[in-house]
Chain A
Amino acid sequence: MIGLNHYLVVAAVLFSLGFFAVITRRNAIAVLMGVELILNAANINFVAFSRFVAGGLTGQLFAIFVIILAAAEAAVALAIVIALYRIRRGINVDEARTLRG
């Protein structure tokens, strides 16, 4: 019987993988992919809790808003990546320290 715990475990592993990508990758686009994995994990949790615990559609609506924000975030982040590449000829996040005081 597939219950709430199964979905939560899948989401937890997905979250950990995304976190791993965020803290170890040097390429800014790969870091962004990790952020997308984290957002997807959070969305699975929203929908699973909505289905198994709360009932109704509130969790699904929150997931829709998260998807919209992820789209906006990806657009802005990739624009920043392209601007960074134009200035520095590279998009490794550990070399982008222009803003450091």
Chain B
Amino acid sequence: MVVYQAVFYLFAAVTLGSAFVVVGSRNILRSAFALLFTFFGVAGLYIMLSADFLAATQVLIYVGGILLLVLFAVMLTQRVGLVSVTNQSQSVFVGLVSCGILAALLVAVIFRTPWVERALEPEGPTTARIGNLLLTDFLLPFEIVSVLLVAALVGAVILAKKEEK
């Protein structure tokens, strides 16, 4: 149990520490690479919640897909010589105050609400059960989301391609 706590605090520290770098760094490349560690930390938290398939999905899609897209967009849109000044912030003080208030409110609500927790039993592997649910109870959202992915990808290509005169 002590090991469980230590690993939880390690993953939480990785997640939140790199998230601080993401929102605080003045170099957008450094923000992008810190985002990598945030995603890995969240994947670790998923594993601790015994969501093994979700953790693998997180690593595959976020780290392998979304982060790569973000890095490509950074490289395509920044002049590399100016990269240290390309990530400016504005009205930082107002943002800090409002986000501090927001976080304090959320934490207060979390600790004051009497959550009804169930008894924990160890969960087996989830992949087969998730596959079964996706093709039975969640079939309609599964199909809709596939159509949406096609539409989003076609739209992205049309938006990003050069219009030729």
Return the contact of B12 from the options A6, A21, A60 (Cβ within 8 A): A6
CA distance A68 to B88 in the complex (A): 30
Q: In the assembled complex, which residues on chain B have CB atoms less than 8 Å from the CB atom of A76? A: 152, 155-156, 159
Number of residues from B at the complex interface, CB < 8 A: 81
A19-61 contacts to B, CB under 8 A, are 19-21, 23-27, 29-30, 32-34, 36-37, 40, 43-44, 47-48, 50-53, 55, 57, 60-61
Q: Is the interface of A mostly helix, strand, loop or mixed?
A: helix
The reply to whether B87 and A40 contact each other, CB–CB distance below 8 Å, is no
Scoring B62, B99, B157 by chain A CB atoms within 10 A of each residue's CB, the highest score goes to: B99
Return the contact of A8 from the options B87, B110, B120 (Cβ within 8 A): B110
Return the contact of A40 from the options B39, B73, B129 (Cβ within 8 A): B39
The reply to whether B145 and A65 contact each other, CB–CB distance below 8 Å, is yes
Which residue numbers of A lie inside 8 Å of B, CB to CB? 1-10, 12-21, 23-27, 29-30, 32-34, 36-37, 40, 43-44, 47-48, 50-53, 55, 57, 60-61, 63-65, 67-76, 78-83, 85-86, 91-92, 94
CA distance A69 to B15 in the complex (A): 21
Contact sample, A vs B, 16 pairs, CB 8 Å cutoff: A5-B115, A6-B12, A12-B103, A13-B103, A16-B106, A19-B99, A33-B31, A37-B22, A52-B120, A53-B115, A57-B126, A64-B54, A74-B70, A76-B156, A80-B159, A91-B77
